[in-house]
């Protein structure tokens, strides 16, 4: 049951991190509760912001290390397949609600000054980038195929591994 909870929460957070471009995903910002659920903390860097003045060191679509895959039982496991299905299905559901999400993003942007880095270079650019990450304009089947390629790209991405190594060396975060 703990593995299932891990997989389900990992799929949801992976999709969220991809869509909202959550950065600074080192092991000090990702927790595991007693039930096996993944819990992300520290959302200082989302949408258009990232650590290091936006040098874009974290270029993976989301963090999916070999350790996470190992907890799921490996790439060929039922649990990993379930994770992939949840991620892809989740993206398809988000696509069906894209206009509502766009409205929420625009509404959220009104809480910040027009020059705020979170919506740089503009609110329209941020919303357009978000909808682009949802593969709007493609069929659901094509969007699902693109989502599957994101999973392949994220899996043990070298920059995720290097970012964890950097955090371990500079901040002592295992």
DSSP string, 107-165: HHHTTS-TT-GGG-S-HHHHHHHHHHHTTTTS-HHHHHHHHHHHHHHHBT-HHHHHHHH
pLDDT value at residue 147: 96
Average pLDDT over residues 3-7: 96
Positive or negative, the CA dihedral 141, 142, 143, 148 is positive
Q: With residue 69 as reference, give the H or E element that holds it.
A: helix 66-72
Which has the higher per-residue pLDDT, 66 or 118? 66
pLDDT value at residue 23: 82
Q: What is the pLDDT of residues 121-164, one digit of tens each?
A: 788 888 999 999 999 999 999 999 999 999 999 887 656 666 66
pLDDT value at residue 103: 94
When pLDDT is cut at 50, 70 and 90, the band that residue 174 belongs to is low
pLDDT value at residue 17: 92
Neighbours of 91 (CB within 10 A): 22
Q: What is the CATH number of domain 2-169?
A: 1.10.1070.11
Q: What is the pLDDT of residues 6-25, one digit of tens each?
A: 999 999 999 999 999 888 77
Domain boundaries, the chain: 2-169
pLDDT value at residue 145: 97
pLDDT over 70 (residue 37): yes
pLDDT over 70 (residue 115): no
Q: What is the pLDDT of residues 43-99, one digit of tens each?
A: 777 887 776 665 566 667 888 988 999 999 999 999 999 999 999 999 999 999 999
pLDDT value at residue 98: 97
When pLDDT is cut at 50, 70 and 90, the band that residue 167 belongs to is low
């Amino acid at each position: 049951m703990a593995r299932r909870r891990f997989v389900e929460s990992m799929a949801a957070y992976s999709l969220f991190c991809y869509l909202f471009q959550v950065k600074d995903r080192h092991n000090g910002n990702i927790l595991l509760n007693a039930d096996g659920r993944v819990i992300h903390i520290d959302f200082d860097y989302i949408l258009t912001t990232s650590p290091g003045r936006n040098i874009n060191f974290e270029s993976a679509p989301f963090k999916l290390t070999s350790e996470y895959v190992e907890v799921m039982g490996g790439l060929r496991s039922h649990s990993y397949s379930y994770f992939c299905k949840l991620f892809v299905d989740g993206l398809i559901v988000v696509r069906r609600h894209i206009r509502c999400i766009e409205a929420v993003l625009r509404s959220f942007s009104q809480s910040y000054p027009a020059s705020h880095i979170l919506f740089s270079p503009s609110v329209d650019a941020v919303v357009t980038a978000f909808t682009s990450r949802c593969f709007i304009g493609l069929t659901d089947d094509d969007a699902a195929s693109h989502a599957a390629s994101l999973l392949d790209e994220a899996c043990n991405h070298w920059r995720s591994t290097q970012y964890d190594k950097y955090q371990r060396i500079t901040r002592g975060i295992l």
